[in-house]
């Protein structure tokens, strides 16, 4: 189908191509939503101003994990690590480019903004569709610290992933997921790493016991932590490179949301947390980081699936209250469901069962004896949370996430046969405890 345009004014051309759905952003939320929508018969226009794959692929999850993998090698050659990272990113980016050429999808390069609530402008062209999904992601947020502006030593995760030499001394401001992962990676590559955090503990959204154990483990490896410390001026940090890892902000600048009467809250675009429809605009959806609900690539993907299902009138059984997450440090940390602190805060009657890596044959065989599994169950014995520190924590938490989606009990977990020897046997051991 050819894209014809009619003369609309001296500066605007109105596209006559009929689209069912326009998606702003080709990150994991946007491109997966486009694929799913096209497979279900919708004509989709997806607009991307930069590289496909979004933050996750180009300057987030994937390149970071490539470095995490290389950092665990005995050789720890940073030149090879950079080559490996670039190769992985290019391969995956090429795959998404091909995916966006499937029937039903038109990929348009350019910067999109709202002309009105039903129209999107890209340059001098305006496109309309029955539905619009905003999937523009987020960017690193800079704190109000004196001396940051124009300082050549200061980088965000985006710039850090483009360096080609290891800094002798790396200072990290922020002990969230990004800060902790880079602290682990660069310590293993040989940097002297110092992490400064305003809060009293790292990873504030994770189980406090797991977070403390992870921090202690990284301290033993050589990472220095300065907790309960606020940086007033960047000159307080004596380092060759300073990473700002103090959170992210929704990418809404330049979208001209006011033209569509779309409002933003402190975390991002305000949406219905079940359908991800923008408040007051039933035909517009906002998914992923831009709505601030859960800054995770897999959250963006599944929110996109939900949005498309809502457009199609299809029911699904996605449980957004069961959102597994992981920190790819060494050792790894992961969790799903509520933490012990949350259970106490909400007044939930719960039990906590523990399993230990040191008692597991596979853990000892692969030289990973340090680790703990915590499983939480409610008064009806149903699984309500799992938190793990140790090798392959993310893979093991995924099993519990799947079981939680099915309403599984501790007793049922205990009766599931697990392969021997595997780390997942620790889950069964914890259930028996």
Question: pLDDT digits over 162-174, tens only?
Answer: 999 999 999 999 9
pLDDT tens string 173-222: 999 999 999 999 999 999 999 999 999 999 999 999 999 999 999 999 99
Q: Is the pLDDT of residue 235 over 50?
A: yes
Alpha helices in 100-228 (DSSP H): 157-160, 177-189, 208-221
What's this model's pTM, rounded to 2 decimal places?
0.93
The residue ranking higher by pLDDT, 290 or 75, is 290
Q: Kindly indicate the confidence band of residue 433, based on its pLDDT and cuts at 50, 70 and 90.
A: confident
Give the model confidence (pLDDT) of 296-350 as tens digits.
Answer: 999 999 999 999 999 999 999 999 999 999 999 999 999 999 999 999 999 999 9
pLDDT tens digits, 130-156: 999 999 999 999 999 999 988 999 999
Q: How many CB atoms lie within 10 A of CB 421?
A: 14
Q: pLDDT (tens digit, 9 = 90+) per residue, 324-339?
A: 999 999 999 999 999 9
pLDDT of residue 352: 97
Catalytic sites, residue numbers: 420
Give backbone dihedrals phi and psi of 383, rounded to 5 degrees, phi first: -65, 130
The pLDDT-based confidence of 14 (bands split at 50, 70, 90) is: low
pLDDT at 76: 82
Is residue 419 scored above 90 in pLDDT?
A: yes
Question: Among 9-23, 40-54, 101-115, 196-210, which is the least confidently predicted range?
Answer: 9-23
Please report the DSSP string for 344-360 in residue order.
Answer: HHTT--EEEEEEEGGG-
Mean pLDDT of the chain: 94
Q: Hey, which bits of 141-181 come out as E strands?
A: 154-155, 169-173
Digit-coded pLDDT (tens) for 247-262: 999 999 999 999 999 9
Interacting residues of 415 by C-beta distance below 8 A, sequence separation 6+? none
Beta bridge partners of 92: none
CA atoms of 163 and 161, how far apart (whole Å): 6
Q: How high is the pLDDT of residue 265?
A: 87
Average pLDDT over residues 88-107: 96
> CA–CA separation, 247 vs 228, rounded Å?
17
- Residue 75 zone, left/alpha/beta (φ > 0; ψ -120 to 50; rest): alpha
pLDDT at 75 over 90: no
Please, what are the domains in the chain? 5-140+249-312 (3.50.50.60), 154-246 (3.50.50.60), 331-432 (3.30.390.30)
pLDDT attached to residue 12? 67
């Amino acid at each position: 189908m050819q894209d014809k345009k009619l003369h609309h004014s001296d500066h605007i051309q109105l596209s006559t191509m009929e689209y069912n759905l326009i998606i702003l952003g080709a990150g994991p939320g946007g491109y997966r939503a486009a694929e799913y929508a096209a497979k279900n018969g919708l004509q989709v226009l997806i607009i991307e101003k930069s590289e496909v794959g979004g933050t996750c692929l180009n300057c987030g999850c994937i390149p970071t994990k490539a470095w995490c993998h290389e950092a665990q090698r005995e050789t720890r050659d940073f030149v090879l690590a950079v080559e490996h990272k670039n190769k992985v990113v290019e391969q995956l980016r090429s795959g998404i480019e091909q995916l966006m050429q499937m029937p039903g999808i038109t990929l348009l390069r350019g910067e999109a903004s709202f002309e009105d609530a039903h129209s999107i402008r890209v340059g001098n062209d305006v496109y309309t569709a029955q539905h619009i999904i905003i999937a523009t992601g987020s960017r690193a947020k800079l704190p109000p610290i004196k001396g940051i502006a124009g300082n050549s030593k200061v980088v965000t995760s985006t710039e850090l992933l483009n360096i080609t030499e290891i800094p002798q001394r790396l200072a990290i401001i922020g002990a969230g997921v990004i800060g902790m992962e880079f602290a682990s990676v660069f310590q293993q590559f040989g940097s002297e790493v110092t992490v400064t955090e305003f809060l009293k503990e790292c990873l504030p959204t994770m189980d406090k016991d797991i977070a403390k154990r992870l921090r202690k483990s990284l301290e033993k490896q050589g990472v220095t932590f300065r907790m309960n410390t606020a940086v007033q001026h960047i000159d307080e940090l004596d380092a060759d490179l300073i990473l700002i890892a103090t959170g992210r902000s929704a990418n809404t600048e330049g979208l001209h949301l006011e033209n569509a009467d779309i409002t933003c809250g402190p975390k991002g675009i305000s949406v219905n947390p079940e359908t991800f429809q923008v408040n007051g605009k039933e035909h517009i959806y906002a998914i992923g980081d831009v709505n601030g609900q859960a800054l995770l690539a897999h959250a963006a993907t599944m929110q996109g699936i939900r949005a498309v299902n809502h457009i199609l009138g299809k029911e699904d059984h996605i449980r957004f209250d069961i959102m597994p997450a992981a920190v790819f440090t060494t050792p790894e940390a992961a969790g799903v469901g509520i933490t012990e602190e949350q259970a106490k805060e909400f007044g939930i009657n719960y039990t906590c069962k523990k399993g230990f890596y040191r008692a597991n044959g596979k853990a000892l065989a692969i030289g990973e004896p340090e680790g703990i599994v915590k499983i939480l169950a409610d008064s009806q014995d149903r699984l309500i949370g799992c938190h793990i520190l140790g090798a392959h924590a993310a893979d093991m938490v995924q099993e519990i996430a799947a079981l939680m989606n099915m309403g599984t009990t501790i007793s049922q977990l205990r009766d599931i046969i697990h392969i021997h020897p595997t780390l997942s046997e620790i889950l069964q051991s914890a259930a028996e405890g």
